[in-house]
Amino acid sequence: MWTVLFSSTKAVDFITSADPVRLLTESNELSFEDEESRKLLDSSSTTPEIRALCKDLKVIGKGDFRMLLRWRVHVRPLLVARGEKVIPDATPKVEPDEDELLEEALTQDELRRRREEKKTRREHSKQQRKKDMGLIHEFALDVSEREGPFSLSSIGVDNDDPRLEAVREGSIKFLSLEQF
C-alpha cells in the first residue's frame, strides 16, 4: 500500500470548508493554482506573509495558524459575494473571549507578583550576606523588612505602644530613641 507524503489543498477548499482546522493540520500547503484560488490572491487581506504561510503549513506556529484562520474569516465574504457555494462555518471564533482575556490578565498579575517576591528575596539574601561578612552592622535597617522610610518596627518599637498613641493623639510632639 502506498501512502502520500505530500498533500496539497486548494485555498478555496480551505475557505469553504466546514472544518478548516482539520484541513490545515492534514495538508502540507494551500495552493493558489486553480482559477478560483487565484481570485483570492487579489484580495487586500492576502498579504505576502499569508502567501508564505500557505506554502509550508507543517512548520507554522500557533500564531501563524491563527493568522490563517483570521485571513479565512476576512476572505470568506468575498466568495459569498461572488455567488460561490460556501458551507456554513462550524469553526469556533478565533477572537479571544472575555474569559481568555481575564485569564491572561491574571497570569500577568501572578508573574508580576512572583517577580516582585523574587526581587525581595534577592535583596534580603544580599543584606544577610553583608551582615554575615561583617560589612554592615547588625542593627542596620534591612531594606526588605521595612515598611516605609521611617518604619518604627525596624528599630523595635511596637505599633501598639502607648507612647506612640500619645504621639498620634498629639499630646506628645516628639519621641527620642532614648525614651524607648
Tens digits of per-residue pLDDT, 122-155?
Answer: 999 988 888 888 877 655 544 444 455 556 555 6
Q: Is residue 46 one of the residues assigned to a domain?
A: yes
Cβ atoms of residues 172 and 149 within 8 Å: no
pLDDT exceeds 50 at position 5: yes
**Look-up of cell digits 500564531:** 63
Q: Say if residue 159 is in the same domain as residue 100.
A: no
**Domain with 126 in it:** 96-138
Q: Is residue 13 one of the residues assigned to a domain?
A: yes
Comparing C-alpha atoms, which of 73, 93, 80 is closest to residue 14?
73
Single pTM value for the model: 0.46
Q: What total number of domains does the chain contain?
A: 3
